[in-house]
Amino acid sequence: MRTAQDREYDWYFRACFAPVSRTVFLIVHDRCLAEDITQEALYRMLRHWRTVSRYEAPDAWVRRVAIRIAVREVQRAAARPVKERLGQPAVRYDDLPDPDVARAVAALAPMQRAAVVLYYWEDRPVAEIARVLEVSESTVKQHLHRARHRLAEVLGEEVSGDAG
């Protein structure tokens, strides 16, 4: 048997769903998302029903909760494309001449990776790489030496000549 509190919540659910959903839709511009957000807000109202039912206007409480959720969702949606772009490499490994080598280089320590990219892909001299990385030429040579050994190990090849 349903209690008076259950019946009162059911009444608020039915009374609030359409108007709150309409308000949320005007914020998110997506009917299904608006309904999901409204249901989430009404679920939260149910979880806190003992407290919320004592409020002068429980419908105002659920509307406020729904609006907060909707605004957060719009903010997340606006930030999503930027974050997705930041998470994607500008060049895909498969676009490079040897994707296996590119993946192996990506696994190197950052300074080794930078030295390898500048030396082998951009064909820059050691002195210029040292200026760009703000290290000595001997440090660049050390990064290249260690990187070649690591790459040979990963790719199963022998190490050939050192950087000059």
Q: How confident is the model at residue 87 (pLDDT cuts 50, 70, 90)?
A: low
pLDDT reading at 78 higher than 90: no
* pLDDT for residue 101: 80
Q: How many Å apart are CA 34 and CA 38, to the nearest integer?
A: 6
Q: What amino acid occupies position 116?
A: V
Residues in the chain, overall count: 164
* Residues 124-161: tens digit of each pLDDT: 999 999 998 889 999 999 999 999 999 888 888 776 65
pLDDT reading at 109 higher than 80: yes
pLDDT reading at 24 higher than 70: yes
Per-residue buried b or exposed e for 111-122, using 16+ beta carbons within 10 Å of the residue's own CB: bbebbbbbbbee
Q: How many Å apart are CA 143 and CA 130, to the nearest integer?
A: 11
Rounded to whole angstroms, what are the CA distances from 146 to 113, 123, 137? Answer: 10, 18, 14
Domain ranges (residues) in the chain:
4-87, 93-155
* pLDDT for residue 93: 55
Kindly report the CATH class assigned to 93-155: mainly alpha
Q: How many Å apart are CA 2 and CA 72, to the nearest integer?
A: 35
